[in-house]
Amino acid sequence: MSQIKFIDLFAGIGGIRLGFERAGAKCIWSNEYNKSCAVTYNANFGDNDLVVEDINKIQSSNIPEFNVLCGGFPCQPFSQAGFKKWFSETRGTLFFDIVRIIKEKKPKAFFLENVRGLYAHDEGKTFATIKRIIEEELGYSFHSKIVKASVFGMPQHRPRLFMVGFRDNTIPFE
């Protein structure tokens, strides 16, 4: 099997990239809007493949071909610390850029990360909307789980919601 090639959207300082690369995958394109995060990201990875620009301004056709879309889309609209405004806040609509890119590029899989608050936001309606779009509009499988970093020996209690899906709905995933 050939090496998995992934893109890293809303890359932050590269936490998702680090995990995927340690598993043997290759990051071929990254995007981050926050310039301070971008400085740290480039210091961490040094290959300067990071595009520092608003994802809304990037055409999907300008993104190289990849197998897996990764993204930790902004969590402030769903977090305890944020105002929980979801679609009424610009950052809350960035999920739809993920949808736009998946529609055009049709990767084999996606891996998304967010705060656990997304799961229950607006009495679960926000999460249900995301799940419906991924399954019905995009045709991907959808698996999700809230995971606590402390369970894996990390020195923090930071529950995160992970969402994974495959274009081939017959792929078993647990």
Active site residues: 75
CA 124 vs. chain centroid, Å, equals: 19
| Residue 9 CB contacts under 8 Å (≥ 6 apart), including other chains | 30, 31, 55, 69, 70, 71, 72, 73, 97, 98, 101
Cβ atoms 100, 114 nearer than 8 A: no
Cβ neighbour number for residue 141 with a 10 Å cutoff: 18
For the chain, the residue count is: 174
